[in-house]
C-alpha cells in the first residue's frame, strides 16, 4: 500500500519524503520544546536561568556537534544518518518524561541534541543532492513551509497535552521521531543513500574553516538565532508570568507558523530580484523589531502577537536564503559537512539565547523591569544587522535562480 500519493510535480517521491520529514521532525520538536521550560520552572521548581542553561546545553549538543554529524552523513550516507538520529532523539525525548533528577534530565537533553546533530545536516544535504542546482532555492522554500506546518500543530498539541501530564507530551514527541525514522528508512531518495565521494578525505574541516565567506556568514547568523531562540525560552516564561493559560503558547506558535505557510511563497516571489544577502539583512531588521514589540508585553500580553509576526517575517526572509547560500558556498561532495557547520550558528546563537534570555528574564523580574530582556536583545539584533550588511559574500542574486525556475 502506497503511503505517499503520486503527485504531478517534477520532484521524486524521495524529495516529498524529505519534505514530510521536515514536517514530522518539527511537529515532534515543537510538541515538547515550548513547554519544557514551563515544566522545568513550574513543575520541578527550577529557576528561569537554570532552565535556560539546560536548554542551552541541548542546543549546543545538537548544533555544536552538527559538523561532525554532517561529516558522518557524508560518510555513512544521508539516509543512515537520519534514521539513526531520529531514533536517538526519540530516546531522549521519551526520557524527559520520566526523568526527575538533574542527571537524567541532562542525559535526555544530550541524547535529544545528539540525535538532531545526526539528522539535521543530513536532511538538508539530501535535499541539495536530490534536486537540480537551479531548483534548490524553491525546494528549500517548500521545506520551510512543511516545517512550519509542524510548528503549527506541535505547540498547540503540546500545550493541551501538558494539561494531562508532561510525561504524555514527552512520549508523544518521542513516538513522532520513532515513526519518522521508520518512514525515512523506507522512502528516502536514492540519491541520498550512498556515501559521498570525498567523505573520507583528510583535512575537510580545515577546508571549511578556510572558506572565509562561509565562516563569516555562519558567525553573523548566530545573532539571528539568538533572537529566534526566545520563542522557546523567554516567550513561554512571559506567558506564564502574566498568568495566561499555557494554551496561548500554542496559539503564538500557530500564528508564527501559519503566517509563514500562507505567505512564504508570496514573500519569496516579492524578493526574487533581491540578493540572498539583502534578504538576510531585511530578516535581521524584522526580527530586531520583533524584540522591540515584545518589550511592550509588560503592558499588554497582546504585544507578543506583534512580536511573533515580526519574527515570522524574519524567518521567511532568512531561512530559505541561508540554505540556498550555503549550497552556493559549499563543495557539492561535502554538503552534509557544510550544512553541519551552518548549524553551528544555531548552536552558538541558540545556546547563548537560551542562557542569556533566561538570565535576563530573571534579572528583569527581580528589579521590576520585565522589558529588560527584550530591549537588550533588540540591541543585539541591530548590531547583527549592521554586520550582515557589511559582509562581502560571493552570492548570485536570487533573481537569477528564480528566472531559471520560471518564477520571474
Quote the pLDDT of residue 5: 40
Pull the grid cell for residue 262. Answer: 500562507
Whether 276 is covered by a domain: the verdict is: yes
The stretches of 367-390 forming alpha helices (DSSP H) are 372-390
Mean predicted confidence (pLDDT) in 94-119: 90
| Rg, C-alpha atoms of the chain | 20
Number of structural domains, the chain?
Answer: 1
Q: Which of 160, 166, 126 is nearest to 251 (CA)?
A: 160
Quick check: helix, strand or coil at residue 77?
A: coil
Within a domain: 233: yes
Q: Where does the pLDDT of residue 172 fall: very low under 50, low under 70, confident under 90, or very high at 90 and above? A: very high
**Does residue 156 form part of some domain?**
yes
pLDDT at 90 over 70: yes
> Phi and psi at residue 286, in whole multiples of 5°?
-60, -45
Domain-embedded: residue 5 = no
Q: CA–CA separation, 121 vs 197, rounded Å?
A: 17
Q: What would the grid cell of residue 13 be?
A: 517521491
Question: What three-state secondary structure class fits 39?
Answer: helix
pLDDT of residue 3: 44
Percent of the chain residues past pLDDT 90, beyond the cut: 25
What Cα–Cα distance (Å) separates residue 391 from each residue in 108, 278, 341, 385?
A: 38, 10, 18, 10
Cell of 2: 502506497
Q: What is the CATH number of the domain that holds 292?
A: 1.20.1250.20
- pLDDT score of 400: 45
Give residue 224's domain range: 13-198+211-404
- CA angle, 168 then 147 then 129, to 5°: 125
Percentage with pLDDT > 70 across the chain: 89
User: In this structure, is residue 1 part of a structural domain?
Assistant: no
Residue 55 contacts residue 230 (beta carbons within 8 Å): no
Residue 359: strand, helix, or coil = helix
Please tell me the chain's helix, strand, coil percentages from 3-state DSSP, rounded to the nearest 5. 80, 0, 20
Per-residue pLDDT tens for 224-260?
999 988 887 778 877 777 656 666 777 887 788 788 8
Closest CA to 290 of 222, 215, 230: 230
Which sign, positive or negative, has the C-alpha torsion 146, 147, 152, 158? positive
**Is 3 part of any domain?**
no
> 2 lies in a domain?
no
For residue 258, is it within any domain? yes
Beta bridge partners of 340: none
Residue 122: what pLDDT?
A: 86
Residue 78 has pLDDT above 60, yes or no: yes
Amino acid at each position: 500500500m502506497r503511503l505517499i500519493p503520486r503527485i504531478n510535480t517534477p520532484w521524486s517521491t524521495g524529495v516529498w519524503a524529505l519534505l514530510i520529514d521536515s514536517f514530522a521532525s518539527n511537529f515532534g520538536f515543537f510538541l515538547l520544546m515550548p513547554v519544557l521550560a514551563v515544566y522545568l520552572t513550574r513543575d520541578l521548581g527550577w529557576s528561569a536561568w537554570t532552565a535556560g542553561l539546560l536548554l542551552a546545553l541541548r542546543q549546543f549538543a545538537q548544533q555544536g556537534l552538527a559538523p561532525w554529524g554532517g561529516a558522518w552523513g557524508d560518510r555513512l550516507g544521508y539516509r543512515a544518518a537520519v534514521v539513526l538520529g531520529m531514533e536517538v532523539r526519540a530516546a531522549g525525548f521519551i526520557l524527559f518524561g520520566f526523568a526527575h533528577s538533574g542527571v537524567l534530565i541532562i542525559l535526555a537533553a544530550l541524547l535529544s541534541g545528539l540525535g538532531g546533530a545526526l539528522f539535521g545536516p543530513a536532511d538538508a544535504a539530501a535535499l541539495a543532492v536530490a534536486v537540480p542546482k537551479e531548483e534548490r532555492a524553491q525546494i528549500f522554500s517548500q521545506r520551510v513551509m512543511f516545517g512550519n506546518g509542524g510548528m503549527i500543530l506541535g505547540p498547540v498539541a503540546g500545550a493541551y497535552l501538558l494539561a494531562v501530564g508532561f510525561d504524555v507530551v514527552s512520549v508523544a514527541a518521542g513516538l513522532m521521531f520513532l515513526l519518522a525514522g521508520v518512514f525515512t528508512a523506507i522512502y528516502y531518495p536514492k540519491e541520498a543513500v550512498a556515501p559521498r565521494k570525498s567523505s573520507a578525505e583528510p583535512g575537510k574541516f580545515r577546508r571549511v574553516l578556510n572558506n572565509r565567506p562561509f565562516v563569516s556568514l555562519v558567525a553573523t547568523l548566530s545573532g539571528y538565532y539568538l533572537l529566534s531562540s526566545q520563542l522557546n525560552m523567554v516567550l513561554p516564561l512571559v506567558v506564564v508570568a502574566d498568568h495566561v493559560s499555557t494554551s496561548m503558547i500554542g496559539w503564538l506558535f500557530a500564528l508564527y507558523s501559519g503566517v509563514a505557510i500562507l505567505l512564504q511563497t508570496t514573500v519569496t516571489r516579492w524578493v526574487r530580484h533581491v540578493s540572498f544577502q539583502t534578504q538576510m539583512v531585511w530578516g535581521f531588521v524584522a526580527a530586531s523589531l520583533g524584540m522591540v514589540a515584545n518589550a511592550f508585553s509588560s503592558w499588554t500580553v497582546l504585544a507578543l502577537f506583534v512580536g511573533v509576526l515580526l519574527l515570522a517575517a524574519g524567518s521567511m526572509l532568512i531561512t530559505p536564503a541561508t540554505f540556498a547560500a550555503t549550497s552556493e558556498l559549499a563543495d557539492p561532495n561535502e554538503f552534509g559537512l557544510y550544512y553541519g557547520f551552518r548549524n553551528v550558528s544555531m548552536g552558538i546563537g541558540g545556546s547563548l539565547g537560551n542562557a542569556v534570555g533566561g538570565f535576563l528574564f530573571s534579572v528583569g523580574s527581580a528589579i521590576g523591569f520585565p522589558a529588560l530582556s527584550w530591549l537588550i536583545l533588540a540591541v543585539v539584533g541591530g548590531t547583527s544587522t549592521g554586520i550582515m550588511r557589511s559582509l562581502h559574500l560571493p552570492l548570485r542574486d536570487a533573481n537569477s535562480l528564480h528566472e531559471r525556475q520560471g518564477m520571474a
